[in-house]
Structure 1
Amino acid sequence: MTTFDDREKAFENKFAHDAELRFKAEARRNKLLGLWAADLLGHRDEAAEAYAQTVILADLELPGDSDVLDKLARDLDGRVTRDVIRDKMADCMRQAVEEISAQTS
């Protein structure tokens, strides 16, 4: 293999690894969001976990975060604003990235 081939393969591996980490972080973020929303809705224990799963699944509907934001805005209507949800999404993403990074270190 040439040096160029080695570099290309390394780049492909890094891209795949980064994509996997991003997917894991988004799934973790969505679970954290779901648990947060479940608490606001009064769900506990198994009901909270089940609700969090619905948030994770909602992210598979459309590319991007709009599907999760829309679901939470509908479900939390009157409890919090979309801006609060967006802020919580950002907080949960930071937490998810930290947790994933700690697991891979």
Structure 2
Amino acid sequence: MTTFDNREQAFEAKFAHDEEMQFKAEARCNKMLGLWAAAKMGKSGEQAETYAHTLVTASIEGSDPEDVVRKVTADLQGRATSDEIRQRRATLLPDAQAQILLETG
């Protein structure tokens, strides 16, 4: 293998790793958003965890973050606007990324 081939493989491996980390961070962020929304709906414990899990599942099925925002907006029934939900998600994402980085060391 040439140096170029090695560099290409290293770049591809890094890209795959970065994509995996971003996927995990998005899923963690959606879970955190789900727990926040569940609290606004008066859910706690197992009910809150179940709701948060539905958001993670929804985000996996449709990779557009707006799908999650639309679902939460509908579920909250006026308790928060789409803009508030987007803003909350934007503040949660860096926390989720930091948690994932800490877990993977």
Supply the AA of the counterpart residue of 2:42: G
Partner of 1:25: 25
Partner of 2:89: 89
Instruction: Give the deviation of 1:102 after TM superposition.
Output: 1.5
* Consecutive unaligned residues in structure 1, runs of 5 or more: none
Q: Which runs of 4+ in 1 moved over 2 A?
A: 60-63
CA distance in 2, matches of 1:79, 1:28: 23
Instruction: Give the deviation of 1:66 after TM superposition.
Output: 1.2
* Consecutive unaligned residues in structure 2, runs of 5 or more: none
Partner of 1:68: 68
Partner of 1:42: 42
CA distance in 1, matches of 2:22, 2:61: 17
Aligned residues: 105
CA distance in 2, matches of 1:50, 1:8: 42
CA distance in 1, matches of 2:88, 2:14: 29
Percent identity over the alignment is 51
Pair 1:55-2:55 in alignment: yes
Partner of 1:79: 79
CA distance in 1, matches of 2:17, 2:69: 26
- Note the alpha carbon deviations across 1:21-41, whole angstroms, 9 max, x for none: 011000100100000001000
Supply the AA of the counterpart residue of 2:26: E
1:35, 1:52 within 8 Å by CA — same for their partners in 2?
yes
- Note the alpha carbon deviations across 1:42-78, whole angstroms, 9 max, x for none: 1110000000011111113433211101100100121
TM-score (norm: length of structure 2): 0.95
